[in-house]
Amino acid sequence: MSDSTVYRASTTAPVNIAVIKYWGKRDTALNLPTNSSLSVTLSQKSLKTHTTASCSSSYSGPDSLLLNGEPEDIQSSKRTQACLQLLRRFRKDVEAKDSSLPKLTDMPLKLVSINNFPTAAGLASSAAGFAALVRAIANLYELPHSPTQLSLIARQGSGSACRSLMGGYVAWRAGSSKDGQDSIAEEIAPVSHWPEMRALILVVSADKKGVASTAGMQTTVETSTLFKARAEEIVPKRMALMEEAIQAKDFPKFAETTMKDSNSFHACCLDSWPPIHYLNDVSRAAMNAVETINRRAGELVAAYTFDAGPNAVIYYEEKNEKLVAGVFRYVLQAVTGWDGEYGSNIPLNDRGGLEAKTVMTLKSGVSRIICTGVGGGPEQTDEHLVDERGQAVKV
Ligand code: DP6
C-alpha cells in the first residue's frame, strides 16, 4: 500500500534591511556578491513571510508554490530550482544514512506562502520569501544544517535572503572561492545585544516601477567608474567599522557608516550607464529631515538608508524615540501605520525645525508608516497553510 501521508512543516521568516549594501555579483549563476554586506533583521510582528512546505506521494507533481493565493511559476525560476535541488540533495544524504526514514525526496513539494505586508510596498519581500522557503523545507526534511549552512542555499534564491535566516545583526561574507562555499551569512550579534534599535519605515509610492535589483546591479558592475573602489576598498573598511560600531553599541558610528554606505550605493547607481535612479524627491526630503534632526540634537541620533526604491528606513535608538520618530509622527500624523508595533508609544514632538518644503514633500509622498525594530530569526510554527489532506488553507 502506498503511503499517502501529507508531511508538513511551517516557519516564518523576517525581512532584513542592510546598513552595508550588497550591490554587484561576481558570479551570476551561483549568485556570489562582489562585496560583503551587513544588515539588521527586522521584527516579524510588522513584517514577515509565513511558509508551509509539504510533500506527499499522493500529490500529483510537479513542485508548486502558492504565494499570497496566486500560483507562482517555479518551474522556470532557475533560482528556486537551485534551492530545491540543493535541499533535496541534503535530504538524500540524511535518507541514505537511515533507511527507516520516509523517502521525502521522491515526493512533489507543495509550498504555500503569505506575506503580512503588501509585496508591492517594495520591502525586501524576496529576502523574507526565500529565507522562509529554505527554512520551511529544511524543517520538513529535518536537515541538521545550521542557519549559516542553509545561507549557502538561500543566497542562490536571492542574495539578501541569506541574511534573513538569522536574527539581530547579520553579516554576509562575500568569500573568495570560485564555488561560493565561503559566501555565507553569520549572526554577528543577537537581538539581545542591542535590542533598543528601532526602524521607522516611510513607505513612498513610486511613480513607476524602478529597475529590478538583479538587472540594476549588473549595469553598475559593467559601467560604473566608482564601483570598483566601492567593492574593493570602501566596503571592506566599512564592514570593519560597522562591526565595531555594533559590538560597542556606538550609535553615532553606526549612523555615519549606514548613511555613507547608502549614499555610496546610490552614487554608484547614478554613475551607472544608463543611470539608475532609485531615490525621488520624497526620499531626499526624508534625508533632509534626518540631517535636520541630527543637527538639532547636536549628534547623530538617526540614520537613513535606502534600498532599490524610494522607501526610507530610518534607524534610531529607543531612547531617542521622541527626538526622531516623534518629529515624523508630528509631521505625518494623518498617515496610516502609527498604530503598529512600536508606533502607538511614540510621543508627539514638534516639527523638529524641518523646512516647510520638506514637510510638504513628506506629507504628500509618504503613503504608510511602519514602526518596527530589530528582531529575531525564522520561527517554526504549527500554523500550517496546508491542511492534513494537502489542501491549501484559505487565509
Ligand atoms: C539594494 O537580494 O534583491 O537591497 O541577489 O539579485 O536577488 P538578488 O538581489 P537582492 O538585492 C538586494 C540589494 C539591496 C541591498 C541589500 O539588501 O544588501
Q: Is the pLDDT of residue 119 over 70?
A: no
Of 173, 190, 207, the position where a domain reaches its end is 190
d(CA 122, CA 310): 9
Ligand 1 neighbours (beta carbon < 6 A): 18, 21-23, 31, 37, 126, 158-160, 213-214, 307-308
What is the CA(42)–ligand 1 centre distance, in A?
A: 16
What 270-274 contacts at long range (C-beta under 8 Å, 24+ apart), as own/partner pairs, is: 271/220, 271/224, 271/225, 271/226, 271/227, 272/216, 272/219, 272/220, 272/223, 272/224, 272/227, 273/219, 273/223, 273/224, 274/219
In a domain, 14, yes or no: yes
Domain count, the chain: 2
What separation in Å is there between the alpha carbon of 159 and the centre of ligand 1? 6
Q: Which of 160, 165, 220 maximizes ligand 1 atoms within 8 Å of its Cβ, making it the mutation to test the pocket?
A: 160
Q: What's the gap between Cα 3 and its chain centre?
A: 38
For 15-38, what is the mean pLDDT? Answer: 97
Tell me, yes or no, whether 2 lies in a domain.
Answer: no
Max Cα-Cα span within the chain: 75
Residues 149 and 211 in one domain: no
Residue 42: predicted pLDDT: 97
Q: Are residues 106 and 148 in the same domain?
A: yes
Grid coordinates representing 258 are 549606514
Same domain? 11 vs 49: yes
Of all protein residues, whose CA lies closest to atom 1 belonging to ligand 1? 307
State the closest ligand 1 atom to the C-alpha of 307, by its place in the atom list counted from 1.
Answer: 1
- pLDDT tens per residue, range 218-234: 999 999 999 999 999 99
Higher pLDDT, 293 or 117: 293
Q: Residue 265 has what pLDDT?
A: 98
Q: What percent of the chain has pLDDT over 70?
A: 97
Q: What is the pLDDT of residue 13?
A: 98
What pLDDT is attached to residue 61? 84
CA Rg value for the chain: 21
Question: Per DSSP, what are the bridge partners of residue 366?
Answer: 204
* Confidence (pLDDT) at 110: 98
Mutate to test the pocket of ligand 1, among 213, 221, 242, 261 (most ligand atoms within 8 A of CB): 213
Same domain, 184 and 278: no
What CATH number does residue 254 fall under?
3.30.70.890
Examine the domain organization and report whether 351 and 369 are in the same domain: yes
Mean pLDDT of the chain: 95
Please check whether residues 361 and 277 belong to one and the same domain. yes
What pLDDT band is residue 125 in, cutting at 50, 70 and 90? Answer: confident
Asked if residue 184 has pLDDT above 90, the reply is: yes
Q: Domain containing 152: what range?
A: 7-190
CATH number for the domain including 31?
A: 3.30.230.10
For residues 1 and 352, the model is more confident at: 352
Q: Which atom of ligand 1 is nearest to the CA of 17?
A: 17
For 212-270, the pLDDT digits (tens) are 999 999 999 999 999 999 999 999 999 999 999 999 999 999 999 999 999 999 999 99
On whether both 186 and 260 belong to a single domain, the answer is no
Q: Is residue 44 part of a domain?
A: yes
Taking CA atoms only, the protein residue closest to ligand 1 atom 5 is 159
Residue 1 in this model has a pLDDT that exceeds 50 = no
Note whether 132 and 217 are same-domain residues: no
Model pLDDT for residues 47-91, shown as the tens digit of each residue: 999 999 999 999 998 999 999 999 999 999 999 999 999 999 999
Distance 295 CA to ligand 1 centre (A): 31
Per-residue b or e along 77-113, where b marks 16 or more CB atoms closer than 10 Å to that residue's CB: eebbebbbebbbebbeebbeeeeeeeebbebebbbbb
Prediction ipTM score: 0.99
Distance CA 156, CA 136 (A): 16
Q: Is residue 237 part of a domain?
A: yes
Q: Report the nearest atom of ligand 1 relative to the CA of 217.
A: 6
Q: Is residue 224 domain-resident?
A: yes
Position in ligand 1 atom list of the atom nearest CA 127: 2
Last residue of a domain, one of 144, 168, 190: 190
240 and 352: one domain? yes
Identify whether 391 is part of a domain.
Answer: no
| Cα 309 to middle of ligand 1, angstroms | 11
Residues 273 and 361 in one domain: yes
What is the predicted pLDDT for the residue at 334? 95
Which pLDDT value is given to residue 209?
74
The residue among 390 and 116 whose pLDDT is bigger is 390
pLDDT interval class at 3 (50, 70, 90):
confident
Q: Has residue 21 got a pLDDT over 50?
A: yes
Considering the domain architecture, whether residues 129 and 20 belong to the same structural domain is answered as yes
Phi/psi at 295 (5° precision): -65, -45
Whether 134 is in a domain gets the answer yes
Contacts of 255 (CB under 8 A, 6+ apart): 294, 300, 301, 302, 303, 315
Quick check: 371 pLDDT over 50? yes
| Same domain assignment for residues 110 and 181 | yes
Mean pLDDT of the 192-199 span? 98
CA of 323 to the centre of ligand 1 (A): 31
- pLDDT of 118 above 90: no
Q: Looking at the predicted structure, is the pLDDT value of residue 306 above 80? A: yes
Q: Three-class SS of residue 395?
A: coil
